[in-house]
Amino acid sequence: MRWTRNIRVAALLATAALGLTACGGGSDQPAAPSKGGAPIVVASFNFTDSQILAEIYASALEAKGYPVTRKLNLGSRELVYPSLKSGELQFLPEYQGAAITTGFGKEATKDAKAEHDQLEKLFAPEGVGLLNYAAAEDKNTYIMKADVAKSKGIASISDLKKLDKVVMAGPPECEKRLPCFKGFKDVYKLANATFQTVQEAGPRVQQLNSGAVTVIPVDSVSPLVGDSQYVALKDDLAIVPTENVVPAVNKKVLDGRGTDFANVVNAVSAKLTTDGMRELNKRVDADGEPAADVAKDWLKQQGLG
């Protein structure tokens, strides 16, 4: 989802964008719905779930004869959005709530259908459209050690007020974002909370396990959610919006590729679930399988490959 993982330097996106200038439409874009023409540039953020989703959609399109170019693991929204809006990147699996709050700086409605309508209006002036959203969500979730939570009677973020000191470890952007540490301070009013920048996900977990920090943000599709060693805290004041997966697609691509293209993408979205994505993430993060292989295997299991 997203921005709870490490950020790549801006140069990475700049380098990736150098080869994209011919892919944003123009004279090579077919005038009528077609499976030919310039490749569709499919992008992802720099975390596992986003890369798996991009591979799933890209492979599904390729299986139906659409040419695809992958530009994966690019970075955060701050780095990806300029190229999405310019048309250099043409297809991005997004997360509705985070796109609204982080991508556009607006307050999300916290309802999937309403968020879809809201995000569609925000993207429209940028030449980007949305297809159907999936049931699958990848949202910020806050975990702490289960033994500590049990001993202190903590089940929700609000309960953290019971502690003398709360230390959250997260990536640097978390500190200033409302669905992360800023929400702990401004919405939950946790005067006992401090923030510690730990950019990589692995070291954050190590810090949590050692007791050096109290709570860390993880993705809801992370294998850590549901692990008996940890407790996922209830977001009782709802600082985190719903985060349904939704394909954001350049409007020239949508118009040029037509209904068949939309049907291929929507068929994938209809099969995506949060539990299913958690299993796919486990296969990549814990079992070490390549995201491309996991994606193709999932498509075959769903009859879409």
Note the pLDDT of residue 34: 52
Helix (H) or strand (E) holding 184: helix 181-186
Q: What is the dihedral of CA 202, 205, 207, 213, to 10 degrees?
A: 140
Distance CA 123, CA 118 (A): 9
Note the pLDDT of residue 64: 95
Note the pLDDT of residue 226: 81
| Alpha-carbon distances of 37 from 9, 140, 292, rounded to whole Å | 32, 38, 24
Note the pLDDT of residue 124: 98
Note the pLDDT of residue 286: 86
pLDDT digits (tens), the chain, 305 positions: 444 443 333 333 333 343 443 333 344 444 445 577 899 999 999 889 999 999 999 999 999 999 999 999 998 898 999 999 999 999 999 999 989 988 998 989 879 999 999 999 999 999 999 999 999 998 899 999 999 999 999 999 999 999 999 999 999 989 998 889 999 999 999 999 999 999 888 999 999 999 999 999 998 888 898 899 999 999 999 999 899 999 999 999 999 999 999 999 999 999 999 989 999 999 998 899 999 999 999 999 999 97
Note the pLDDT of residue 97: 92
Task: Identify whether the C-beta of residue 281 lies closer than 8 Å to the C-beta of residue 141.
Answer: no
Length of the chain: 305
Note the pLDDT of residue 296: 97
User: Using one digit for the tens of pLDDT, what is the confidence trace for 187-203?
Assistant: 999 999 999 999 888 99
| Alpha-carbon distances of 237 from 96, 156, 188, 221, rounded to whole Å | 19, 9, 7, 21
Note the pLDDT of residue 126: 96
